């Protein structure tokens, strides 16, 4: 839990900064590992959520695999100590260079998203005289009931192989000895809080698994992706997501053969609550219609509110909370964009220049999306062990 004493020890604290609670992260990882182990499930950590070196080292030390979406992420995972045999590579636009990187490291699987991508992988594998292990990403047309920018499993989305092209993919793999079909891959979106959505996913996975079995292909891996959300409104009360219930859904509703492994790709649910963005109040503007609290952090440090209109709990960090009158502020940053806003009409104690503010639940898609727009300074970090 974030408290004012953790960040107020130094009057010279350089802000804005990302504050990471590594103790909470370790507790979360223990819960993930133990909950998955109960069903013999395998978990890959999605580096796209947060690739901070301290976080990656802790995740790797717990034995998780890696879910990568670029060649640089693959290289970073290898450098951090992740086993190449536990790395999967996703993304609709893998470049030739990135494919060669993955082939060089002999990763567990390419999550292939189009016929043309499969053809390119086959060509590059032949050039390098090496085997490429393939998981075909299938779009299950399941609505994740989340923000439309982070929904990935509908027919209208760009992700996954078109279902009418799956027979062609099977033919390509069958006719090429350097392509090895190792799995089926599904991912329907992010920040999913309704577990019933995952029941619907299981039903679709069962159908497609049976479709492949009927054609003589019993793939060893069913990769059901990730997407489990976190509680942005109550970050302390729900600091660790309910992984037990999440995994239990798949154990109950997913029909897997005795030889099949079930793999997951989790990011936000692991690291989301361990991070907070700490910022100072630069100026207060009390107007006729609006009161503005202008921070030294902006959309350059945390893009989600501007990009997705995402909610993050905003807290005052101080010792005299009970003695301050509550005021409503639009909490904004210094960037030359009206979209540079963290929250509107946020109820906070009366603020003054120099006060510290915490923007919570920023461990996922916070630091990794930081920008240098306006030639902003590089952000600082503070870790709680």
Instruction: Give the model's pLDDT for residue 211.
Output: 94
Count of all residues that appear for the chain in the document: 385
Of 272, 297, 316, the position where a domain reaches its end is 272
Query: What's the mean pLDDT in 6-10?
Result: 51
Whether residue 316 contacts residue 348, with contact meaning beta carbons closer than 8 Å, is answered with yes
Whether pLDDT at 10 is above 50 = no
CATH value at residue 295: 2.40.37.10
Q: Do 178 and 90 share a structural domain?
A: yes
Q: Do 235 and 280 share a structural domain?
A: no
Instruction: Give the model's pLDDT for residue 118.
Output: 97
* pTM for the model: 0.93
Q: How far apart are CA 231 and CA 361, in angstroms?
A: 8
Its domain, for residue 203, covers: 22-272
Q: Do 302 and 210 share a structural domain?
A: no
- Joined together, the tokens standing for residue 285 give 């503007």
Q: Do 362 and 265 share a structural domain?
A: no
Query: What's the mean pLDDT in 7-20?
Result: 79
Q: Do 342 and 233 share a structural domain?
A: no
pLDDT in tens, 322-336: 556 899 999 999 999
Which residue from 147, 218, 248 is spatially nearest to 188, judged by alpha carbons? Answer: 147
Instruction: Give the model's pLDDT for residue 8.
Output: 53
Q: Do 374 and 266 share a structural domain?
A: no
Which residue from 245, 262, 158 is spatially nearest to 193, judged by alpha carbons? Answer: 245
Of 224, 253, 272, the position where a domain reaches its end is 272
CATH value at residue 49: 3.20.20.10
Query: What's the mean pLDDT in 187-207?
Result: 93
Of 272, 294, 325, the position where a domain reaches its end is 272
Q: Do 254 and 280 share a structural domain?
A: no
Query: What's the mean pLDDT in 197-208?
Result: 94
Q: Do 282 and 224 share a structural domain?
A: no
**pLDDT category of residue 318 using cuts at 50, 70 and 90:** confident
Q: Do 242 and 291 share a structural domain?
A: no
Structure-model confidence comparison of residues 8 and 246, the more confident one? 246
For the chain, the domain total comes to 2
């Amino acid at each position: 839990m974030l408290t004012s004493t953790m960040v107020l020890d130094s009057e010279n604290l350089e802000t804005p900064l990302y504050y990471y609670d590594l103790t909470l992260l370790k507790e979360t990882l223990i819960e993930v590992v133990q909950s998955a182990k109960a069903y013999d499930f395998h978990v890959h950590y999605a580096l796209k959520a947060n690739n901070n070196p301290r976080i990656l080292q802790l995740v790797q030390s717990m034995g998780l695999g890696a879910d990568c979406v670029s060649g640089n992420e693959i290289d970073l995972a290898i450098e951090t100590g992740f086993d190449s045999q536990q790395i999967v590579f996703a993304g609709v636009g893998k470049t030739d260079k990135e494919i060669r990187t993955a082939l060089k490291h002999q990763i567990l699987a390419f999550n292939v998203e189009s016929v043309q991508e499969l053809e390119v992988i086959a060509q590059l594998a032949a050039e390098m005289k090496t085997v490429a292990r393939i998981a075909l990403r299938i779009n299950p047309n399941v609505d994740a009931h989340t923000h439309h920018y982070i929904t990935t499993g509908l027919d209208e989305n760009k992700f996954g192989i078109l279902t009418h092209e799956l027979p062609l993919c099977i033919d390509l793999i069958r006719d090429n000895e350097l392509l090895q079909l190792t799995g089926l891959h599904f991912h329907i979106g992010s920040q999913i809080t309704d577990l019933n959505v995952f029941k619907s996913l299981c039903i679709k996975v069962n159908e497609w698994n049976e479709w492949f079995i009927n054609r003589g292909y019993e793939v060893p891996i069913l990769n059901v992706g990730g997407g489990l959300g976190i509680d942005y409104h109550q970050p302390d009360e729900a600091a660790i997501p309910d992984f037990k219930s999440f995994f239990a859904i798949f154990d109950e509703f997913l029909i897997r053969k005795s030889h099949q492994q079930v793999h997951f790709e989790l990011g936000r649910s692991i690291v989301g609550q361990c991070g907070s963005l700490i910022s100072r109040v630069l100026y207060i503007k009390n107007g006729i219609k609006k009161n503005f609290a202008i921070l030294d952090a902006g959309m350059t440090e945390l893009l989600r509110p501007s990009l997705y209109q995402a909610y993050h709990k905003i807290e005052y960090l101080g010792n005299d909370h009970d003695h301050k009158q509550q005021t409503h502020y639009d909490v904004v940053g210094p960037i030359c964009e009206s979209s540079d806003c963290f929250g509107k009409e946020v109820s906070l104690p009366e603020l003054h220049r120099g006060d510290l503010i915490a923007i919570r639940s920023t461990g996922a898609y916070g630091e990794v999306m930081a920008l240098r727009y306006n030639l902003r300074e590089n952000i600082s970090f503070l870790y709680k062990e």
